[in-house]
Amino acid sequence: MLYHYTCHHGRRGIGFSGFIVPTPSLWGLPLVWLTDMRPPGREALGLTSHMLDCDRLAYCYKVDAPLGVEPWLESRARADAPLLSVLMLEQAPGVDPRRWFVSTARQFGALDRHYGLQFRRDWGANAGATP
């Protein structure tokens, strides 16, 4: 099982269909980003919101049957990406690219309605800390 974390804008885009559609990466290639991290690590996943105002860990989708997914470090997407883009992603403080997975195919995910109750409850006291 893999997971897709997203903000409220991303959740709106996924809607009721559950389809997670590839979005443009830094170098323009549309990708779906997934992880095996449960609970998520904000820095490890690169979802710190330093460049965006959204809480990119607000919602979690469970992807039970991922299609065409590759580990980021072994992916064609990484091999074809400009070196500067790869360095920007992989050398950010605290990231763990071993936990990243990508696909150019849309994925079906089920909104995890227990996610907020299980993991986000304790983050209020540590708003700036990694969960």
Per-residue pLDDT of 86-127, as tens digits, reads 999 999 999 999 999 999 999 999 999 888 765 554 444 344
Number of domains in the chain: 1
Mean pLDDT over 29-52 rounds to 88
Query: Is 131 within a domain?
Result: no
Query: Is 59 within a domain?
Result: yes
Neighbour count for residue 20 (Cβ, 10 Å): 22
Q: What percent of the chain has pLDDT over 70?
A: 85
At 77, give phi and psi (nearest 5°).
Answer: -60, -45
Least confident of 2-11, 47-56, 82-91, 99-108: 47-56
Find the domain containing 15 and state its range.
Answer: 2-126
Query: Is 80 within a domain?
Result: yes
pLDDT at 24: 95
The residue type found at 105 is A
Q: What's the length of the chain?
A: 131
- Report yes or no on whether pTM surpasses 0.95: no
Neighbour count for residue 84 (Cβ, 10 Å): 10
